């Protein structure tokens, strides 16, 4: 009887003793999982409103973005993030400038390519005259889809210049490339088109390895070196004369 009684008394102790360890392990795993989940959050998971009010931004954001996966982010990497002031206001100013450009573009009331096609300013295609017209619009802001002096994209700029000679070009690099006559680099002349081989961009050849073009958002129409060898040259022929 005493042996049975002792076993009855000890049994609860064993259950109570071993029942604590699984709970402790579960809690440990839960806490650890929570920590790793916190450190594996992507950069955009941080509250942007909080960052904006604090007027802080990370200087190592590019390093974090270059990681193959957020799973590679370690505690050490998080601890090395540094902060600097001022970039929120810079971004806000950039957005205001962009909105101003778009507003200016929408309210443009000057002549369009269609107007010039109906009443061309110049007769006959001459390289020097083409470059003179192209140079008038240096400094015009880049606007995606733009086709007026209030804002150009690359093919819109080319089309607007040639419209003044009575030449109707489509507002696409592909279309402009198809309408021209392919010429070799050695035979390229000022006024020919410089067309990227992947048809992603074009401009007007100015000679000596330079071209007039509307580069990208945030930039302006400019005369610049042709910065890649992967281009070909297309000559627009005036079929009206």
Q: What does the domain layout of the chain look like in residue ranges?
A: 2-88, 113-235
Q: Are 120 and 164 in contact (CB under 8 A)?
A: yes
Mean pLDDT in residue range 205-211? 98
Which DSSP string corresponds to 31-71? HHHHHHHHHT--GGGS-HHHHHHHTEEES-HHHHHTSS-GG
Interval 101-151: pLDDT, tens: 778 788 898 999 999 999 999 998 999 999 999 999 999 999 999 999 999
User: What fold does the segment set 113-235 form as a domain?
Assistant: endopeptidase fold (from Nostoc punctiforme) (3.90.1720)
Give me the pLDDT at residue 104, please: 77
Of the two residues 157 and 38, the one the predictor is more confident about is 157
Nearest to 108 by CA among 150, 54, 166, 156: 150
pLDDT at 66 over 50: no
Q: Are 125 and 164 in contact (CB under 8 A)?
A: no
Phi, psi at residue 111, to the nearest 5°? -65, 145
pLDDT at 79 over 50: no
pTM: 0.61
End-to-end CA distance of the chain: 123
Q: How far is the CA of 219 from the CAs of 32, 54, 153, 197, in angstroms?
A: 48, 30, 10, 22
Give me the pLDDT at residue 26, please: 43
Mean pLDDT rounded to a whole number for the chain: 75
Q: What angle is formed at CA 125 by the lines to CA 122 and CA 126, rounded to 5 degrees?
A: 100
Give me the pLDDT at residue 96, please: 77
Give me the pLDDT at residue 29, please: 45
- Dist CA 39 CA 60 (whole Å): 15
Q: Is 9 exposed, middle or buried (0-12, 13-18, 19+ CB in 10 A)?
A: exposed
């Amino acid at each position: 009887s005493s042996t049975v009684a002792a076993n009855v008394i000890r049994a609860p102790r064993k259950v109570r003793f071993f029942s604590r360890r699984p709970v402790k392990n579960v809690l440990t795993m839960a806490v650890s999982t929570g920590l790793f989940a916190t450190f594996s959050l992507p950069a955009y998971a941080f509250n942007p409103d909080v960052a904006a009010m604090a007027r802080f931004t990370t200087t190592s954001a590019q390093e974090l973005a270059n990681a193959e996966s957020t799973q590679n982010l370690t505690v050490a990497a998080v601890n090395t993030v540094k902060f600097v002031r001022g970039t929120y206001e810079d971004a806000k100013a950039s957005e205001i400038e962009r909105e101003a450009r778009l507003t200016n573009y929408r309210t443009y009331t000057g002549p369009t390519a269609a107007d010039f096609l109906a009443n061309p300013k110049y007769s006959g295609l001459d390289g020097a005259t083409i470059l003179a017209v192209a140079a008038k619009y240096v400094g015009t802001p880049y606007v995606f889809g733009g086709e007026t002096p209030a804002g150009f994209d690359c093919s819109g700029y080319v089309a607007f210049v040639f419209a003044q000679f009575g030449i109707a070009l489509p507002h696409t690099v592909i279309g402009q490339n198809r309408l021209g006559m392919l010429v070799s680099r050695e035979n390229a002349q000022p006024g020919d088109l410089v067309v990227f081989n992947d048809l992603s961009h074009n401009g007007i050849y100015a000679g000596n390895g330079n071209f007039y073009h509307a580069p990208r958002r945030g930039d302006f129409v400019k005369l610049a070196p042709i910065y890649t060898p992967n281009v070909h040259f297309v000559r627009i022929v005036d079929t009206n004369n």
